[in-house]
A and B are shown apart, each in its own frame.
Chain A
Amino acid sequence: MTPNGDTQGRVAAPEQRSLPILQTVTPRRREATPEGAVGMRSRVPQPAYVAPPLSSRPFAAEIEAWRQTLDNVSFLELADRADALRREKHPSSVVSYIVDRNINYTNLCVTDCRFCAFYRRPKDAEAYVLAYDEIGRKIDEAKEVGAVQILMQGGHNPYLPLDWYLGLLRYIKEHHPIHVHGFSASEIEMIVKVSKLPLDEVLRMLRDAGLDSVPGAGAEVLVDAVRDVIAPKKIDSSRWLEIHEAVHEAGMHTTATLMYGVGETWEDRLEHLLKLRDSQARSLARTGGRYTAFIAWSFQPLHTEMQDWDLTLGTGMDYLRTTALARLVLDNFDNVQVSYVTQGPKMAQIALRCGANDFGSLMIEENVVSAAGIDFIMPESEIRRLISDAGFEPRRRYQDYGLVSEHDEGCPCCRWRDLVTVDS
């Protein structure tokens, strides 16, 4: 039994040296210097952004109603409403967090999102793809310190065939079993394009190979006019929602995100949230997966093409109002996470009284946000101190938001899945 072959006749991982650009390197962290860093993007002039008129938007009446609420309700009252709904949904005083590791299997990407500091073009000397055994080594390290999942995301790499992903998932489940929360909607779209197979079939194959759940990245702002400015080559908002609903139909959970502070308006943020609520309602009406959580974070401009744009970047007030608003609008979402990586420990803690009930993940490794110069990674003891200090009980959790207890033997959703696999 080798990483690249397998006794049960499954698809073997492709020979990596047949793909010229593939090399194994450990992602480098950039120094956060305002002037020049290796691989920094050339600055792109800022296109004019004209927000779509309200009349052309879906959910126009509701957007207008929420907008009125935002204008007329004080910050503390809005936060208090969100806090009341959080208490209703989570009456116990637990604030959970997950121990996991971000594994960015490739940084090679052809989508050229203007807000991203992480990706490298195919010919860039710093472009990389991690080998299976390196990913396995990272998983083992993470498991040693108690990780119960890996968050596996990467660039949209057209050189990686579907079999590479399937082989990787099987390799992980065979040799380094752990919950795999991986491949955001836009990566799945690239896999679909490269494989030329239908979406639902790709998802079924990924799931059967070992994919457990799908992260909510790549949503950015789900308003196409905004996407045209910040990520013109990325999937549009309806395709993002379509892929997530297909993932739910395939029986896997996903999360959802919002990246704000890229020049969008409050109407854009509201349209984003209302589209998510609507999508969740459709998924809840079917059996299968759903959105388990929502996470908002603010755009970090350093080292991106948008670094010099004249943007009103997210302030502290912006973050807390956005979090509170999301908690209120997304009344069919169970969980709202804080983003301490972008907001810092103080703001993340305050957000626990503005609608959020989960501290997100204790990341053993993070490469994407830190590429943009922001690095608030903390030890577990500090996360627990912040949660306790806010009057809550800190608890480790799994990806499905079940709490970790002493007698568990690994992630319950994965164990359940192992049983099903053995039975069949």
Chain B
Amino acid sequence: MDRRLSHALAPHEHGPGPDGGTGPFVRLPTFAGGHYDCPAVKDWNPQPDFGMAPALATEIRVAPTDRKLFPILDKVLDDRRLDRADGITLFESTDLLAIGALADYANRRKNGDRVFLCANQHLNPTNVCILRATCVFCSFARKPKEDGAYTMSLEEAFHEASLARDTPVREFHIVGGLHPKLRLSYYEDLIRGLRERHPGVEVKALTAVEIAHLARIEKTTVEDVLERLRAAGLDTLPGGGAEVFSTGVRATIAERKLAADEWLDVHRRAHAVGIRSNCTMLYGHVESMADRVDHLEMLRSLQDETGGFLAYIPLAYHPDNNELGTSLGREGTATTGFDDLKNLAVSRLYLDNIDHIKTHWIMNTPKVSQIALHFGVDDLEGTVRRERIYHEAGAPTPEGLSFAEIVRLIKDAGKRPVERNVHYQEVRSW
């Protein structure tokens, strides 16, 4: 079987590329050491400038002020792959607008001015988790007998799933704790029941960590778990549980969780049997810039191998109500707007083989997520009904946005809203 799935499973057209011949390909002068002359910045008169042309899809009209970015600018214009040092330079730079302009350029080449959204609903069947004591960044997990612990019966889960009906839900996003006793059959029944009750709905369920957990308690292989879930109606895997792949960071924040190579291996196997997936990184805790780039590098390598990742989603660490935030003295200090935008933009530049970068507005706030559409992002998540995990960690954002609100945010940012299905195929656009 051809393991490069990107053409087989995501049949959508690509945005205009540099070879697509849509207008002039404006190249800024290369920094040649010592002095950089950019008329756009130097001699600009702050009066209305009638000479400013409409931004074209194949232009970068923001000159870096951070000189370290010039070699990266060249690479992006030439469509050359960034290396590890480039990634670290980008994360360390504070030249936010230039980084955004590079990422915006890379995104427009891949996705044009489309921004995807979907009508989705979160379903967290249980918060009981055997990693309760060791994943110190998590505010959601509970021990089986702890206050607030819950496990939904199938009826409760179906009831919860039927609550958000203002826009027909097209995608269920199902993730939860590693419950020691919930068997694979529960998840099969859950997914099968949801598909029966909501015809046409698609299911993105169970992170690599949960899949590996189910394989362990069922004493079977990852492939077997995946095949049985797919037979029940699973479409794709969400990208959670990746955290940061660095061994040192994992030992600090998620000691007993699936190791990096195991996480990657579950996704590799999923891609091999034709199940596509997302990938993530949890940033903003104890990781270094090098850790972040190494993480992206490992995702990029696997994508080179399989082509199975649909989207990358950087997840902002929320420091409230968890042990890590307390021990770091970080309560009340969420990630900054700069860091949120840089994580999105740098991933757009680094992950040149993953089609979509998604901003999770639950963490980044709707305001920053809207700005992110100019920083390389082409997916504004969705209506996200009934999200629990991040709200337990102190996310101050609303619990859901209406479809109309999301469409307005996208239009207001000057982009074209496109409703997608779970495979990023266009359902409708405005």
Contacts and interface: CB of A to CB of B under 8 A. Distances in A.
A176 B253 CA distance: 50
A390 interface: yes
Interface in A66-116: 66, 68-69, 72-77, 79-81, 83-85, 87
A225 interface: no
A398 to B, nearest CB: 27
Interface stretch (A6-14, A17-25, A340-348): A340-348
A26 interface: no
Residue from B61, B332, B338 whose CB has the most chain A CB atoms within 10 Å: B338
A382 interface: yes
Contacts of B364: 346
B250 to A, nearest CB: 25
A349 B63 CA distance: 21
A52 interface: no
A73 B40 CA distance: 13
B46 A81 contact: yes
B48 interface: yes
Contacts of B409: 315, 317
B336 A75 contact: no
B97 A389 contact: no
Interface string B48-74: 111011110000011101000000000
A331 interface: yes
A84 B49 CA distance: 14
A187 to B, nearest CB: 32
B366 interface: yes
Contacts of B366: 315-316
Most buried by B among A69, A85, A317, A390: A317
Interface residues of A, number: 43
Question: Which residue of B50, B61, B97, B409 has the most chain A CB atoms within 10 A of its CB atom?
Answer: B97
Given A66-B48, A72-B53, A350-B337, A77 B96 contact: no
B356 interface: no
Contacts of B367: 315-316, 319, 343-344, 346-347
Query: For the complex, would chain A's binding face be called helix, strand, loop or mixed by DSSP majority?
Result: helix
Contact of A349 (B52, B54, B336, B374): B336
Contacts of B44: 81, 84-85
B381 interface: no
A328 interface: yes
Given A316-B371, A317-B412, A344-B367, A77 B332 contact: no
Nearest to B339: A389
A68 B412 contact: no
B336 A74 contact: no
Interface in B352-383: 364-371, 374
A353 B52 contact: no
Contact of B374 (A76, A312, A343): A76
Nearest to B372: A316
A176 to B, nearest CB: 31
Contact of A77 (B61, B94, B413): B61
Contacts of B95: 391
A270 to B, nearest CB: 10
B414 to A, nearest CB: 7
Contacts of B413: 75, 315, 317
Contacts of A315: 366-367, 370, 408-409, 412-413
A17 B53 CA distance: 66
A65 interface: yes
Given A315-B370, A389-B338, A390-B336, A75 B48 contact: no
B48 A62 contact: yes
A414 interface: no
A312 B404 CA distance: 12
Contacts of B52: 69, 72-73, 77
A379 B331 CA distance: 12
A239 interface: no
Contacts of B97: 76, 79-80, 83, 353
B130 to A, nearest CB: 34
B190 interface: no
A347 B334 CA distance: 13
Interface in A309-355: 312, 315-320, 328, 331, 343-350, 353
Given A81-B46, A316-B370, A347-B368, A74 B55 contact: yes
Nearest to B66: A391
B46 A331 contact: yes
B341 interface: yes
B202 to A, nearest CB: 29
Contact of A76 (B53, B100, B337): B100
Nearest to A62: B48
A386 interface: yes
Contact of A69 (B48, B55, B341, B414): B48
A315 B367 CA distance: 6
B243 interface: no
A360 to B, nearest CB: 16
Interface in A345-383: 345-350, 353, 379, 382
Nearest to B405: A315
A74 B373 CA distance: 12
A74 B414 contact: yes
A76 B54 contact: no
Given A62-B48, A315-B412, A331-B46, A74 B340 contact: no
B104 interface: yes
Contacts of B339: 389
A382 B333 contact: yes
Nearest to A67: B48
B96 A350 contact: yes
A76 B52 CA distance: 13
B101 interface: yes
A345 B414 contact: no
A385 interface: yes
B41 interface: yes
A83 B94 CA distance: 13
27 contacts: A66-B48, A69-B49, A73-B55, A77-B52, A77-B61, A80-B41, A80-B61, A81-B44, A81-B46, A83-B65, A83-B97, A312-B408, A315-B366, A315-B409, A316-B365, A317-B413, A318-B412, A319-B367, A344-B365, A345-B334, A346-B340, A346-B365, A347-B365, A350-B341, A390-B96, A390-B336, A391-B95
Interface of A: 62, 65-66, 68-69, 72-77, 79-81, 83-85, 87, 312, 315-320, 328, 331, 343-350, 353, 379, 382, 385-386, 389-391
Q: Which 7 A-B pairs have the closest CB atoms?
A: A391-B94, A316-B367, A346-B337, A65-B48, A74-B55, A350-B337, A349-B337
Interface of B: 41, 44, 46-50, 52-55, 61-63, 65, 94-97, 100-101, 104, 332-334, 336-341, 364-371, 374, 408-409, 412-414
Given A83-B65, A353-B96, 20 more contacts: A62-B48, A69-B49, A72-B53, A73-B55, A74-B55, A80-B63, A84-B44, A315-B409, A316-B365, A316-B366, A316-B369, A343-B367, A344-B365, A346-B367, A347-B365, A347-B367, A389-B338, A389-B339, A391-B94, A391-B95
